[in-house]
């Protein structure tokens, strides 16, 4: 969903008159935390699955810290909240995000046995034994959405933040730079 948010944020911003020039001027604090956090989490999923909970906690705290130090930047408050919601539910479920099994059966039936066995990456089948299920991956998006996807409330809030951030740097940033040029002429 994160990649989708970036794509939609860019498309929306371009439609509203934004430009890629604003993306080149982005200046955020501690950007290496993003790269480090993704390497930790995905390395754990594929290389060290026994350390998934630890990796999820460390990587998400890295992302939370990144959002916290950039909280004054448009959209980062939403990203911080979305990440926090996802982290809470995953901590309470031993590093795994509960997923609606019925939606998973429709979206990817071949992966359901692994999901039910608890061996599907950082996901686990939503059940009476999982915690904070309302924060799990329970929203199943399909047509007219371009591809089927199951997302959480945290993903939605995070996506809003990403889109607002991209809008602010691509559209509003463009308007600010034009205003500055206009006063100097």
> What is the H or E stretch that residue 97 is in?
strand 97-99
Q: How far apart are CA 113 and CA 64, in angstroms?
A: 32
pLDDT confidence bin for 176, thresholds 50/70/90: low
Domain-wise residue ranges, the chain = 2-172
Q: What is the spatial distance between Cα 42 and Cα 184, in angstroms, rounded to a whole number? A: 49
pLDDT-derived band at 144 (thresholds 50, 70, 90) equals: confident
Mean of pLDDT values over 97-124:
90
Q: What pLDDT is stored for residue 138 in this prediction?
A: 97
Can you tell me the distance from the alpha carbon of 45 to that of 120, in angstroms, rounded to the nearest whole number?
9
- Can you point out the beta strands (E) in the chain? 97-99, 123-125, 139-141, 149-151
Quote the pLDDT of residue 1.
Answer: 75
Q: Looking up tokens 């991956």, which residue turns up? A: 137
Worst-scoring range by mean pLDDT, 25-29, 50-54, 103-107, 141-145?
50-54
CB 37 within 8 A of CB 2: no
Mean pLDDT of 157-172: 95
Would you state the pLDDT for residue 180?
A: 43
| CB 67, CB 29: distance < 8 Å | no
Q: What is the pLDDT of residue 182?
A: 46
Distance CA 12, CA 33 (A): 27
Peptide linkage before 64 cis (omega within 30 of 0) = no
- DSSP states of 139-171: EEE-TTSSS-EEE-HHHHHHHHHHHHHHHIIII
Mean pLDDT of the chain: 89
Joined together, the tokens standing for residue 55 give: 């990796």
Model confidence at 85, pLDDT cuts 50, 70, 90, reads very high
pLDDT for 73 equals: 96
């Amino acid at each position: 969903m994160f990649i989708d948010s970036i794509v939609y944020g860019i498309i929306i911003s371009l439609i509203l008159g934004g430009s890629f020039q604003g993306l080149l001027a982005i200046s955020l604090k501690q950007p290496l935390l993003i790269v480090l956090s993704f390497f930790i989490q995905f390395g754990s999923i594929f290389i060290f699955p026994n350390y998934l909970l630890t990796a999820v906690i460390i990587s998400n705290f890295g992302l939370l810290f990144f959002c916290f130090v950039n909280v004054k930047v448009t959209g980062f408050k939403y990203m911080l909240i979305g990440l926090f919601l996802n982290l809470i539910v995953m901590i309470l479920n031993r590093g795994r995000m509960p997923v609606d099994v019925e939606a998973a059966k429709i979206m990817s039936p071949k992966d359901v046995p692994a999901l039910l066995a608890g061996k599907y990456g950082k996901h686990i089948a939503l059940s009476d034994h999982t915690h904070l299920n309302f924060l799990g991956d329970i929203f199943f998006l399909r047509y007219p959405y371009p591809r089927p996807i199951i997302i959480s409330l945290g993903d939605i809030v995070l996506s809003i933040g990403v889109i607002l951030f991209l809008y602010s740097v691509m559209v509003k940033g463009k308007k600010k730079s034009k205003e500055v040029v206009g006063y100097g002429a």
